[in-house]
A and B are shown apart, each in its own frame.
Chain A
Amino acid sequence: MVVPLISIILLAPLAAFAIFALFGLAKRSFPRQDILSTAAMLVALGCSLYLLTEVVPKPDPYTVEWISLGSVTFSMGFYLDSVTVIMLIVVTLVSSLVHIFSIGYMHGDPRYPRFFAFLSLFSFSMLFLVVSDNLLGIYIGWELVGLCSYLLIGFWFEKDSAANACKKAFLTTRVGDVGMFIGMMMLFKKFETLSLHGTNGIFTLIADPAKFTGDTSDIVWLSGAGVLIFCGAVGKSAQVPLHTWLPDAMEGPTPVSALIHAATMVAAGVYLTARMFPILTPSSSLVIAYVGGITAIVAATIAIVRFDIKRVLAYSTVSQLGFMMLALGAGSYVAGLFHLTTHAFFKALLFLGSGSVIHAFHAMHAHHDEEHAEGNQHEHDDHGLVHEHGSEIPPDQDMRNMGGLRRKMPWTFGTMLIATLSISGVPFIFSGFWSKDKILAGVLGRAMEWNSVHHYILFAVALVAAGITAFYMFRLIFMTFFGEPRNQEMHNMAHESPWVMTVPLVILAILSFPVVNTIWFNKDYIKPPDQHHVQAPQHADISPNNKTGKVDFGFSIFGISEAHAAEDESENADDAHHGHGPAHTIAMVLSIIVAGLGILLSWLFYHKRRFSAESVATTFRPVYTLFWNKYYFDEFYNGVLVALTVWKSRLFAKFDLSIIDGIVNGVATVTRAVFAAFIGFFDNRVIDGIVNRVAKVIWSVGGRIRRIQTGAIQTYLFVVLGGIVLIILIFRVL
Chain B
Amino acid sequence: MEPIKNIESLAYFTPEILLVVFAAAVIILDLLVKDQESDWVAYLSLIGLGCSLIAIFITNSLVNTNEPISLFLGMIRLDEFAVFFKILLLLATAATILFSIRSEELDVRLKGEYYALLLAITFGMFLMASSTNLLMIFISLETVSLTSYILAGFLTHSPRSSEAAFKYITYGAVASGTMLFGLSLIFGMAGTGDITQISSQIASVLASGGVSALGVLIAITFILAGIGYKIASAPFHMWSPDVYEGAPIPITAFLSVASKAAGFALFLRFFRTGFDTPEILQSIDWGLLLAIVSALTMTVGNLAALPQRNVKRLLAYSSIAHGGYLLMGAVLLTSEGLSAIVFYLIVYLFMNLGAFYVVVLIANESGSEMIESYRGLSSRAPLVAGAMAIFLFSLTGIPPFAGFFGKWLLFNAVISKGLYWLAFIGLLNSVVSLYYYARIIKAMYLESAEDTDTFSFTKSTFALLSVFVVPTIFIGFLNIFYSLSAKITLQ
* A221 → chain B closest CB, angstroms: 48
Query: Are B284 and A702 in contact, with the CB atoms below 8 A?
Result: no
- Determine if B221 and A728 form an interchain contact, defined as CB atoms under 8 angstroms apart: yes
Are A713 and B221 in contact, with the CB atoms below 8 A? Answer: no
Judged by a CB distance under 8 angstroms, whether B167 is at the interface is yes
Beta-carbon contacts under 8 Å, B384-422 to A? none
A713 pairs with B304, CB closer than 8 A: no
* Interface footprint category on B: 35 or more
A residues within 8 A CB of B306? 698-699, 702
Which one of A557-565, A626-634, A703-711 contacts B?
A: A703-711
Task: Compute how far the CA of A720 lies from the CA of B239 in the bound complex, rounded to whole angstroms.
Answer: 10
- Option from B239, B284, B307 in Cβ contact (under 8 Å) with A703: B307
Report the separation of the CA atoms of residues A698 and B436 in the bound assembly, to the nearest whole angstrom: 12
Please give me the residue from chain A that is nearest to B170 by CB atom: A713
How many Å lie between the Cα of A711 and that of B166 in the bound state? 12
Given contacts A698-B432, A699-B307, contact A728 B218 (CB under 8 A): yes
**List of B residues within 8 angstroms of A695 by Cβ:** 435
Minimum CB–CB distance from B319 to chain A (whole Å) comes to 15
Q: For A724, list chain B residues within 8 Å (CB).
A: 178, 221-222, 225
Of A699, A709, A726, which contacts B238 at CB under 8 A?
A709
Our pick among B167, B225, B288, B435 for the contact of A723 (Cβ within 8 Å) is: B225
Q: How far is the CB of B176 from chain A (nearest CB, A)?
A: 12
CA distance in complex: A651, B80 (Å): 72
A699–B436 Cα distance when bound, in Å, is 11
Q: Which chain B positions have C-beta within 8 A of A719?
A: 235, 238
How distant is B192 from chain A, measured CB to nearest CB, in Å?
25
What's the nearest-Cβ distance from chain B to residue A331, in Å?
68
A731 contacts the other chain (CB 8 A): yes
Judge whether A616 is part of the interface by a CB distance below 8 angstroms.
no
Interchain CA distance A720-B228 in the complex, whole Å: 10
Asked whether A702 and B235 contact (CB < 8 A) given A720-B175, A724-B178, the answer is no
B307 near A706: Cβ-Cβ < 8 Å: yes
* Chain A residues in 8 Å Cβ range of B239: 713, 716
Residue contact A709 to B241, C-beta cutoff 8 Å:
yes
Residues of B within 8 A of A703 (CB): 307
B303 interface hit (Cβ, 8 Å): yes
Q: Does B289 contact A (CB under 8 A)?
A: yes
Closest CB of chain A to B330's CB: distance in Å? 16
The complex places the Cα of A576 from the Cα of B224 at a distance, in Å, of: 102
Is chain A's binding surface mostly helix, strand, loop or mixed? helix
* Minimum CB–CB distance for A142 against chain B, Å: 50
Q: Which residues of B contact A726 (CB under 8 A)?
A: 235
* A56 sits at the interface (CB 8 A): no
Residue of B nearest to A726 (CB): B235
Bound complex: CA A726 to CA B285 (Å): 15
| A731, B305: Cα distance in complex, Å | 29
Write out the residue numbers on chain A whose beta carbons fall within 8 Å of the beta carbon of B222.
724
Asked whether any CB of chain B lies closer than 8 Å to the CB of A727, the reply is yes
Within 8 A of B (CB), among A104-119: none
Q: Which residues of B contact A733 (CB under 8 A)?
A: 214
**Chain A min CB distance to B63 (Å):** 38
By a CB distance below 8 angstroms, the chain A residues around B178 are 720, 724
Tell me the complex Cα distance, A731–B174, Å. Answer: 23
B167 lies within 8 A of A713 (CB): yes
A residues near B224, Cβ cutoff 8 Å? 727
Q: In the complex the two chains form, what is the Cα distance from A52 to B227 in whole Å?
A: 100
- Binary flags per residue of B163-204, CB closer than 8 Å to A gives 1, else 0: 000110011001100100000000000000000000000000
Determine whether the beta carbon of B167 is less than 8 Å from that of A727: no
Our pick among A717, A722, A727 for the contact of B221 (Cβ within 8 Å) is A727
A189 at the binding interface (Cβ < 8 Å)? no
Residue A690, interface by CB 8 Å: no
Residues of A within 8 A of B435 (CB): 695
Give residues 259-294 of B contacting A (CB, 8 Å).
284-285, 288-289
Q: In the bound complex, how far is the Cα of B221 from the Cα of A273, in angstroms?
A: 86
| Interface residues as binary, B206-250 with A (CB distance below 8 Å gives 1, 0 otherwise) | 000000011001100110110001000011101101100000000
A732 contacts the other chain (CB 8 A): yes
The CA of A706 and the CA of B236, in the complex, are separated in Å by 15
Residues of A within 8 A of B55 (CB): none
In the complex, the answer to whether A720 meets B174 with C-beta atoms within 8 Å is yes
Residue in contact with A713 in the complex, picked from B166, B235, B300, B432, CB distance below 8 Å:
B166
Chain A residue contacts of B289, Cβ below 8 A: 727, 731
Least Cβ–Cβ distance between A709 and chain B, in angstroms: 6
Q: Do the beta carbons of B307 and A723 come within 8 Å of each other?
A: no
Q: Shortest beta-carbon distance, B54 to chain A, in Å?
A: 41
The residue on A at minimum CB distance from B215 is A732
Q: Name B449-463 residues within 8 Å CB distance of A.
A: none
Instruction: Tell me the complex Cα distance, A715–B214, Å.
Output: 27
Indicate if the CB atoms of A722 and B218 lie closer than 8 Å. Answer: no
CB neighbours (8 Å) of A19 from chain B are none
Closest-CB distance, A21 to chain B (whole angstroms): 44
- Distance in Å: Cβ of B202 to nearest Cβ of chain A: 16
In whole angstroms, how far apart are the Cα atoms of A714 and B21 in the complex? 39
| Minimum CB–CB distance for B312 against chain A, Å | 15
Cβ contacts B299-318/A at 8 Å (1 or 0 each): 01001111100000000000
CB-based contact B214/A717 at 8 Å:
no
Distance between Cα atoms of A733 and B222 in the complex (Å)? 16
Residues in chain B within 8 A of chain A (CB atoms)? 166-167, 170-171, 174-175, 178, 213-214, 217-218, 221-222, 224-225, 229, 234-236, 238-239, 241-242, 284-285, 288-289, 300, 303-307, 432, 435
Give 29 pairs: A residue, B residue, CB < 8 Å, sorted on A. Answer: A695-B435, A699-B306, A701-B303, A702-B305, A702-B307, A703-B307, A705-B303, A705-B304, A709-B242, A711-B242, A713-B170, A713-B171, A713-B239, A716-B167, A720-B174, A720-B175, A720-B225, A720-B229, A720-B235, A723-B225, A723-B234, A724-B221, A724-B225, A727-B217, A727-B224, A731-B284, A732-B217, A732-B284, A733-B214
What are the 9 A-B residue pairs with the smallest beta carbon separation, nearest first?
A: A723-B235, A702-B306, A716-B238, A702-B303, A705-B304, A713-B167, A732-B214, A727-B221, A732-B217
